[in-house]
Structure 1
Amino acid sequence: MLRYFVSKLGLALLVALTVSSISFLLVFAAGDPAIAIAGENATAEDVQAVREFYGYDRPLVVQYGSWLWGVLHGDFGVSTYFNQPVSSLIGPRLAVTMTLGFLSIALALAISIPLGVLAAMRPNSALDRIALSIAVFGQAIPNFWMGLLLIMFFSIHLGILPASGTDSWKSFVMPMIVLGTSATPAIMRLTRTGMIEVLGSDYVRTARAKGLPQRKILFKHALRNAVIPVVSLAAVQLGFLLGGSVVVESVFALNGAGYAAWQSISRNDLPTMQALILIFSMFYIFFNLLADVLNAWLDPRLRGN
């Protein structure tokens, strides 16, 4: 197990290094960052002053090395719009985004796994069709549109939930529903497919022939094996929820990292953009690594020799 973990960790670190270089180079893809910071009406002298102040006149390799060294020490630079360290700017906001992401994936798992299991127990039944219809419904509705509907109903019409802000736990209810329902369809379908395959396997038929209780067959033998690919998908979905919270946080005016990403893009705040791109990418890498380790623990065959 240790050897498997070390190999996966080495691969994750290699991917992280590649992602860091891409994150750094993305801000140069649209043109000269000094012009973006100085503004379209800035003079050539102003642009040159900005270039020298932020070190954009240095060789690109030197800039990347300096930026990466700072990142490794928790220094993401200074926000060009808020004029404060990026780490202090996005640090508190990450807590909001991570809280929203974990609540959303918990809701998605609580809905999708039971639905997938029930649908697999009776394939092609009315229950199965209802579960698949829920999946299609959740995948078809855009997040921003569903968010607006929830605001109109729960905030404006009923007045029981706040439409914006992070003042209480109630502020997370509607964003959690929006993000959770967007992650539910894929997990539910994968759970259903995996359970149908496992329930038709030889060892499940043998367990039934031995007279084992249906509950024990379902949860101890079938679900444990069917849930292995679900773990990987849930990890990917969690990374997607954390990185894809930009729209939802903007709709509900949550002061999280997703909303900070939208602000940095609209205000040409390049250091904050770089930091958030890197951080959201690291979320994907970390949760995929965690999923690989959990899958290897659940299924020793994945560890190899």
Structure 2
Amino acid sequence: MLRRWLRGLGLLREWGLRLGLLVLSATIVVLVAMLPEGVVVTGEFTVSGSLGEVRTSTTEKFRVEPVDADSGGLVYGWSLAEYRRGIGEYLMGLARGTLTVDKWYGTAFTVLPLLPLLKEAWWYSFELFAGALVVGIVLGLLLGVLVLGSRGARAFGAGVSVLGVSVPDFLLILLGQQLTIWSYRNFGVRLWSVLGVQGGERGWLLPLVALSIIPMAYTARLLSTALDEAMREDYIRTARAKGVPEVWVVLKHAMRNALPRALNGMPAMLNVTLSSQLVVEVLTNHYGIGSGLMRGLSYSQPHVVASIGLIFCLWFVVMDGLAVTLRALANPQLKGGEAS
């Protein structure tokens, strides 16, 4: 009973720490994202920078001549008062749910409420994230078990897990896009969706494969290491001496003790997977929350960037907290995610 109480107290402490980090990270995100609101522009618009296609002879190359300094131009400055006003208006609009956006997927310049659009985009991202975790963990479990097989099986499982960690996501995505383009040109078969017009169909297979590589590799490496250590314990030799079938030795004894150890790497696995989702969504025509962030940056929409940043902060904290909780509950030797 005392051990359970201490473990629960440790978990509460871990969640309190993460809530504090959430407040701090959310504050930093809003302050940084809203910096453009403090920019003040004065003056009149003129031709920016230079005049092109200037030459005195047909045998000379075009040269660039600067615009006359007396012809005017825009002057940029930064105002703390405007910056504070922009943050205040953003927080007020966020609290009231009145934030709008006029440049979103497939909407041209139609003004739409922002929060419902972000909710829909987050759900698409969450479906991709959850599907990638399920596929990656299942494949990782299968690869991790190969450590109990022959030398060739162990080498194959280790090689796949190392490649999964070392190969960049964007390289795998680009290769997948090239493969489906080649297949479509030569055989008229499109294996999966590639980059297309904004607001068009969302690709699923390629981003799912690309995003599931990381959890697969992490799970395989952690499980194989834990299984290798568990199979050398005394209780395994005792079970074999009693005549317990090898299948039951692995499933009932080794796997039961190896899985809690493998859970130690789950927080890092979730964080790396979530970080990779931004790149995967942008490169695979999957218009979720990651692509929305890039769109907000491209069209200079600080309120969009700040809102998506807050969503990512909350998502990180919740996923990390759930991972630590699951790890502590699965391993009685852990209190709040740390070894006692």
TM-score by length of 2: 0.72
User: Quick one: which amino acid aligns to residue 267 of structure 1?
Assistant: Y
The residue number in structure 1 matching 2:120 is 92
The C-alpha deviation readout for 1:6-36, integer Å capped at 9, x for no partner, is: 33322221121121122123226xx553329
* CA 1:11–1:47: 2 relative to 1, 3 Å: closer
CA distance in 2, matches of 1:229, 1:74: 45
- Note if contact 1:112-1:188 (Cα within 8 Å) is conserved in structure 2: yes
**Match 1:133 to one of 142, 159, 172:** 159
Q: In structure 2, do the counterparts of structure 1 residues 12 and 135 end up closer, same or farther at CA, with 3 Å as the change threshold?
A: same
DSSP 3-state at the match of 1:300: coil
Distance 1:299 1:47, change over 3 A: closer
> Aligned-pair distance for 1:188?
1.4
Does the CA contact (< 8 Å) of 1:80 and 1:270 recur in 2?
A: no
Kindly provide the amino acid, as one letter, of the partner of residue 179 in structure 1.
Answer: L
Q: Is the contact between residue 40 and residue 76 of structure 2 (CA under 8 Å) also seen in structure 1?
A: no
Q: Given the alignment of the two structures, is residue 108 of structure 1 paired with residue 108 of structure 2, yes or no? A: no
Distance 1:36 1:262 in 2: 24
Structure 1 302/148 Cα, relative in aligned 2: closer, same or farther at 3 Å? same
Partner of 1:243: 275
> Which is helix-richer, 1 or 2?
1
Report the Cα distance in structure 2 between the residues aligned to 1:24 and 1:186, rounded to whole angstroms.
32
Q: Note the aligned Cα RMSD (angstroms).
A: 3.5
CA 1:301–1:139 in 2, change beyond 3 Å: closer, same or farther? closer
- Which 5+ residue runs of structure 1 have no aligned equivalent? none
Deviations 1:178-203 (A, max 9, x none): 11123322321111111111111222
Q: Aligned pairs, how many?
A: 290
Equivalent residue of 1:253, what SS?
Answer: coil
Aligned to 2:177: 151
Partners in 1 of 2:232 and 2:97 — Cα distance?
Answer: 54
Q: CA deviation at 1:101?
A: 0.9
- In 2: Cα distance, 1:202 partner to 1:98 partner: 43
Asked whether the 8 Å contact 1:244–1:258 carries over to 2, the reply is: no
State the one-letter code of the partner of 1:277.
G
State which drifts further: 76-85 or 177-186.
76-85
Matched, 1:56 2:83: yes
* Inter-partner Cα distance in structure 1 for 2:98 and 2:312: 14
SS in 2 for 1:159: coil
In structure 1, the residue matched to 2:67 is none
Q: Partner letter of residue 192 of structure 2?
A: L
Q: Which residue of 1 aligns with 2:39?
A: 35
Q: Distance in 2 between matches of 1:37 and 1:106?
A: 50
- Look up the equivalent residue of 2:231 and give its one-letter code: L
Q: Say if 1:172 and 1:210 are closer, same or farther in 2 by CA, change over 3 A.
A: same
Any gaps of 5 or more consecutive residues in structure 2? 46-72, 105-110, 184-188
Letter in structure 2 aligned against 1:18: L
State the distance in 1 between where 2:206 and 2:130 align. 14
Please say which of residues 171-180 and 265-274 is displaced more in the overlay: 265-274
TM-score in terms of structure 1 length: 0.79
Aligned ranges 1:223-262 → 2 under 5 Å: 223-262=255-294
Paired residue for 1:264?
Answer: 296
2:227 alignment partner in structure 1: 195
Fraction of identical pairs, as percent: 22
Q: Is 1:117 aligned with 2:123?
A: no
Report the CA distance between 1:217 and its aligned residue: 2.2
* Residue 20 (str. 1) matches residue 26 (str. 2): yes
| CA deviation after TM superposition for structure 1 residue 78, in Å | 4.3
Q: Specify the structure having the higher radius of gyration (Cα).
A: 2
Cα distance 1:266–1:281, how it changes in 2: closer, same or farther (>3 A)? Answer: same
Pick closer, same or farther for the CA change 1:70–1:228 going to 2, 3 Å. farther
